[in-house]
Structures are given as structure tokens and as C-alpha cells.
């Protein structure tokens, strides 16, 4: 810490449309691949911190994945003659200096100096959006493109999908739903919730289209997930909904612990996935 400087740690919630980004994590030294974190840290440079501000991201998301609410912690050291920013002022300042319209800071909190945005999270919830009745992706309303996975099928067997999802609940070795490159030390995770539901009609769909287009939501909650676990679980549940797999086969896939099994080759597209929330004890 610089002489006479005062350090304050903040937890910041932020959201983004992931279409234009190479994931949330900062990309260093590459001009054409930019992460959401690059823009956040660029905005933070304007805060005149004594030392550069670095965002420690709670939940990494891949290229094309969106976030309704992600989180990060950051330290700001101001000179001794300057008091720490209030959370409200910090939120406004970051939004003022953000240079990409697809990112917005939602809220900030002062937290203890030992707080860690990734390790302290008690719950993460992901939302995956599907559309049925769409013969081609370019038949989606323009406002829904890159925000859901368009399926050519007219409907899904939701009851079968819900039955299959029950096999995933609880504490398991999720190796079969883990993609190569995962940094996790252990493949064991506890899935607290997995739901499948029909959404109300999208407000972006014209009445004449709403008779054929339907939208569906899958939600998954856990303290943490393996690399691409949600997209792999989604792909398998969609296969059940389309009749390509039976619900009991999902348990067999889980028990196999084999990420290279014949039913695990497909991963749901990134653009249908949203990080919905990151929760912390006491916040």
C-alpha cells in the first residue's frame, strides 16, 4: 500500500450481453479478443487509484455467454486526503467511464479486506433459454437472436426433461458433464436445483409468430459448476425433450463419469446461456 493511501475493497455486481466478448475474463496482449474485464478495468483507471485496480471475477463465463448478474471484488487505494468512494458513487463512476454499451454496473458494496468474490460465493444460478418451432435460426425475431438456442422441433417433452433432471440433483461426480480444460481440482459438485419450464410469450414476438414459437427456460443452481457443465447438462436434457434419450439414460451418463461418451459429444450453444445470480452470505 502506498504511503498515506487508504485502501477499500468493494464487491461489484455487473451485467453484460456476451455476444461481443471473448468471455468475461480479461484478455492480455491480444487486440482482437477482448473480455468484459478489460472494459471494467479500463473504466476503473479513471478512478485515480494509487495502484492499478484489478477485478477478481466471481464466475468465469465463456465467449458468447451473457450475465444478468455477475460479481467481482476490487481494491481502490485513494490518497490520504481523499475518503473512500461510497458504493453509490463508485457504481455511477464506473458506468460513466465504461466504453461498451453491452456492460452495466448494477450495484456495489463495501466488504472486508479479506473478502474474495469467487471463494465466498454460496450460490450460483444459471439460466438457459430455448426456442421451439423455429425452422432456422434466422427465423427468430432479431431481438431474440444470440439470446436463445433455436430448435427446429415444434415442442419438447417437458415431463421427461423434468424426470431426467431429477437424476442430476444432489452431490455427484459430474465428470461426464465436464469439458476438457477445467481447472477444478475435483469433479464433485452439489446441484441444488434443476428446473424446466415454459416461458410466457416473448414480448419481442409478433402475434402471428407466437402460435409457432415457444420459449423455454432451464435453471441450474449450485455453489459452483465445472467447465461447461451447464451447457453439457442442457444438451443432454434437450436430447431427452426431443426423444433422442430416455430419462433413465441421464443417470447412466452421470454414473459413467466419462466426458467422452457417445451422448456427451454435443454442448449447448453459448448464446443461450445466462449467469443469472451470484449470492453471498449476508448480502
Choice between 5 and 125, residue whose per-residue pLDDT is larger? 125
pLDDT of residue 30: 62
pLDDT of residue 32: 64
Angle at 39 between CA 38 and CA 45, to 5 degrees: 90
Asked if 162 and 237 touch (Cβ cutoff 8 Å), the reply is no
62 catalytic residue (yes or no): yes
3-state secondary structure of 210: helix
Which neighbouring-strand residues pair with 71? Answer: 13
Q: What is the separation, in whole angstroms, between the first and last Cα of the chain? A: 27
Asked if 120 and 280 touch (Cβ cutoff 8 Å), the reply is yes
Asked if 212 and 230 touch (Cβ cutoff 8 Å), the reply is no
Q: How many CB atoms lie within 10 A of CB 114?
A: 7
Asked if 253 and 95 touch (Cβ cutoff 8 Å), the reply is no
Euclidean distance between CA atoms 86 and 135, whole angstroms = 51
pLDDT of residue 86: 97
Pick from 243, 161, 251, 154: nearest CA to 197: 161
13 has binding-site annotation = no
Asked if 80 and 1 touch (Cβ cutoff 8 Å), the reply is no
Architecture of domain 122-280: 2-Layer Sandwich (3.30)
pLDDT of residue 31: 65
- Mean pLDDT, range 101-126, rounded to an integer: 98
Euclidean distance between CA atoms 218 and 196, whole angstroms = 5
pLDDT of residue 3: 54
Asked if 229 and 178 touch (Cβ cutoff 8 Å), the reply is yes
pLDDT at 161 over 70: yes
CATH number of 7-110: 3.30.70.580
Extract the C-alpha cell encoding 18. Answer: 456476451
Please write the tens of the pLDDT for every residue from 42-99.
999 999 999 999 999 999 999 999 999 999 999 999 988 889 999 999 999 999 999 9
pLDDT of residue 151: 94
pLDDT at 38 over 80: yes
Choice between 81 and 165, residue whose per-residue pLDDT is larger? 165
Please identify which of the residues 20, 62, 157, 173 carries the catalytic annotation: 62
3-state secondary structure of 94: helix
pLDDT at 1 over 50: no
Euclidean distance between CA atoms 224 and 13, whole angstroms = 17
Which neighbouring-strand residues pair with 170? Answer: 191
List the chain domain ranges.
7-110, 122-280
- Among the residue ranges 14-28, 211-225, 256-270, the one predicted with the least confidence is 256-270
pLDDT of residue 208: 73
The whole-chain average pLDDT of the chain stands at 93
pLDDT at 209 over 80: no
pLDDT of residue 205: 80
pLDDT of residue 264: 75
Amino acid at each position: 500500500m502506498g504511503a498515506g493511501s487508504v485502501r477499500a475493497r468493494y464487491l461489484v455486481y455487473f451485467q453484460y450481453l456476451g455476444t461481443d466478448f471473448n468471455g468475461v475474463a480479461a484478455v492480455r496482449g491480444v487486440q482482437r479478443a477482448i473480455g468484459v474485464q478489460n472494459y471494467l478495468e479500463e473504466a476503473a483507471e479513471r478512478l485515480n487509484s494509487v495502484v492499478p485496480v484489478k477485478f477478481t471475477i466471481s464466475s468465469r463465463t465463456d465467449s458468447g455467454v451473457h450475465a444478468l448478474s455477475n460479481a467481482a471484488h476490487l481494491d481502490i487505494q485513494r490518497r490520504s486526503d481523499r475518503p473512500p468512494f461510497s458504493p453509490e458513487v463508485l457504481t455511477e463512476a464506473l458506468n460513466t467511464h465504461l466504453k461498451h454499451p453491452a456492460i452495466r454496473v448494477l450495484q456495489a458494496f463495501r466488504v472486508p479486506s479479506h473478502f474474495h468474490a469467487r471463494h465466498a460465493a454460496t450460490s450460483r444460478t444459471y439460466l438457459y433459454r430455448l426456442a421451439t418451432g423455429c425452422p432456422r435460426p434466422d427465423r427468430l425475431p432479431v431481438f431474440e437472436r444470440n439470446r436463445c438456442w433455436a430448435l427446429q422441433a415444434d415442442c419438447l417433452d417437458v415431463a421427461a426433461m423434468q424426470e431426467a433432471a431429477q437424476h442430476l440433483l444432489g452431490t455427484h461426480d459430474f465428470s461426464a458433464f465436464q469439458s476438457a480444460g477445467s481447472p477444478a481440482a475435483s469433479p464433485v459438485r452439489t446441484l441444488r436445483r434443476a428446473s424446466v419450464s415454459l416461458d410466457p410469450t416473448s414480448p419481442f414476438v409478433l402475434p402471428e409468430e407466437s402460435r409457432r414459437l415457444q420459449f423455454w427456460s432451464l435453471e441450474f443452481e449450485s455453489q459452483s459448476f465445472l467447465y461447461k457443465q451447464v451447457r453439457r447438462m442442457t444438451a443432454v436434457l434437450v436430447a431427452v425433450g426431443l426423444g433422442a434419450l430416455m430419462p433413465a439414460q441421464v443417470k447412466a451418463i452421470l454414473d459413467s463419469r466419462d466426458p467422452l461418451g457417445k451422448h456427451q459429444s454435443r454442448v449447448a450453444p453459448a448464446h443461450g446461456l445466462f449467469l443469472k445470480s451470484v449470492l453471498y452470505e449476508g448480502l
